[in-house]
Structure 1
Amino acid sequence: MDVGESDATVYRRGDVFAKCCDASGVAELAAERDRVVWLSGTGLPSATVVDWISSADGACLLTSAVPGVSGDSLPADAHERAMRSLGVVLRELHALTDCPFERPLAKVIETAADVVRRDAVNPNFLTDEWRLRRPAELLAEVVAESAYIESVLEPVVCHGDACLPNFLFDPLTLEVTGLIDLGRLGVADRYSDLALTTIQLHDEWSADPAPFLDAYGLAEVDPRRLHFFRLLDPLTWG
């Protein structure tokens, strides 16, 4: 089965997941492996690396299955408690130190520019409003706003793809049982996570993110930063 937005293919057998790629994806998969190893040593709930197999033809990353259900499958009556659990875990992730991985904003914008240049932006990742505009126009808006974002940057350890399917929950206690799909984990502005999580809560759960933000500890949000990272993210996949 195919899972996530990468070109890797994911299989499950029992309590082990295998993510496999061809030779062109080995470096990216190895980077994800290293991030899983690092996060699993911090005490936050996550998978662990079971094995790594590589050859001239490609590679396979084997990780332990994380118990729980993905956030996008939780019923409506679980949403508020789950939002609070998610807020706490994301705050704990953002409080970690000594992370060896970085996602500098300039590099992320370079990735977006490459995707736009190759005409590889997936329209399904864009809002109805953004689909009415050319990707080059969206990128130009990102570039124009980047100076402000750099001026208020708050570097923390970010998940990098903080969407509901990448957080697993205990269906009974609604505690977060694991953070998965860590290929983009690294030091970045905290709003790169907050922007994705809050828009997911709105789009997938039709929920006011206030309980999440309260548990996270953010009394006031910067809508300008939320908009920036919500616009930037879909331009980086392709």
Structure 2
Amino acid sequence: MLAPPGDGWTAVEIGESDTSVFRRGDVFAKCCGPAGVAELAAERDRIEWLASTGLPGATVVDWLELPSGGACQVTSAVPGLPGDALAPVSRERAMRSLGGILRELHALTDCPFERPLASVIATAEDVVRRDAVNPAFLTDEWRKVAPAELLAEVVAERPYVESVLEPVVCHGDACLPNIFFDPDTLEVTGLIDLGRLGVADRYVDLALTTIQLHDEWSADPGPFLASYGVPNPDPRRLYFFRLLDPLTWG
């Protein structure tokens, strides 16, 4: 297991591949082997950029290069609770806060990072070609379909999505565990796991967040969408990005 130098670190999550996460006091260390350094450095740069905008999130405390050729990114802990840990009674207010913070994120300008649709689809093509799609990320219905057929559905719908593209600064993985809330005020206290942050269609975030609210909270996403400012979202783009996302992890 890769570990940061020094004593007092406790493993809190063992990621896939050669990535591991540790905590010591109010900081976290995310460590990777040589093959993951470029990706981890890209996440570090995104954390630093978001912190410079004033939106809530972690800050980079240190960047450590390991003798193995790997690296550790040390960040501050974000206060509060992740969205998937909130009590049911808190969820409607939390949805309104979540809509507000994504609206603020999407209104940012001068972002140096991009996630063009062409590159995301290319990633999906690579994952499908390697037969690396994780079935745990698919719905029961999609598990009955070959990943190549799901990808073909994405490719067929691509011209429509590109014709109505609305590029904004997206989180890229705006699921409930990556959004922290103050348990008392239910205001958002931070956005984490920013490895996919970049300019992309706003529906990248809207699609993932709304399906998370439905699946994890059994909630009507109406309060979230109203707070965000799109009470009647485009169902074709919601479906497109919900289908594309699970094909890009692997």
TM-score of the pair, normalised by structure 2: 0.93
Contact in 1 for aligned 2:222/2:231 (Cα 8 Å): no
Aligned counterpart, 1:168: 180
Aligned counterpart, 1:12: 23
Residue 85 of structure 2 corresponds to residue 73 of structure 1: yes
For residue 220 of structure 1, report the CA deviation from its aligned partner. Answer: 1.5
Residue 67 of structure 2 corresponds to residue 22 of structure 1: no
CA spacing shift, 1:127–1:91, aligned 2, 3 Å = same
Aligned counterpart, 1:126: 138
Report % sequence identity.
78
CA spacing shift, 1:189–1:3, aligned 2, 3 Å = farther
Give the letter aligned to residue 117 of structure 1: R
For residue 54 of structure 1, report the CA deviation from its aligned partner. Answer: 1.6
* Of 153, 161, 176, the match for 2:165: 153
Cα deviation 1:37-57 (Å, max 9, x = unaligned): 000010100000000012452
Q: Which stretches of structure 1, 4 residues or longer, exceed 3 Å deviation after superposition?
A: 3-7
Aligned counterpart, 1:52: 63
For residue 2 of structure 1, report the CA deviation from its aligned partner. Answer: 2.7
* Of 230, 237, 248, the match for 1:218: 230
Aligned counterpart, 1:206: 218
Q: Count the aligned residue pairs.
A: 238
Give the letter aligned to residue 72 of structure 1: D
2:56 aligned counterpart, secondary structure: coil
Q: CA RMSD in A?
A: 1.1
1:2 aligned counterpart, secondary structure: strand
Aligned counterpart, 2:104: 92
Segments of structure 1 that go 5 or more residues without pairing to the other structure are none
Higher relative contact order (CA 8 A, sep 6+): 1
Contact in 2 for aligned 1:5/1:237 (Cα 8 Å): no
Aligned counterpart, 2:206: 194
Give the letter aligned to residue 218 of structure 1: V
Distance 1:220 1:74 in 2: 26
2:211 aligned counterpart, secondary structure: helix
Segments of structure 2 that go 5 or more residues without pairing to the other structure are 1-11
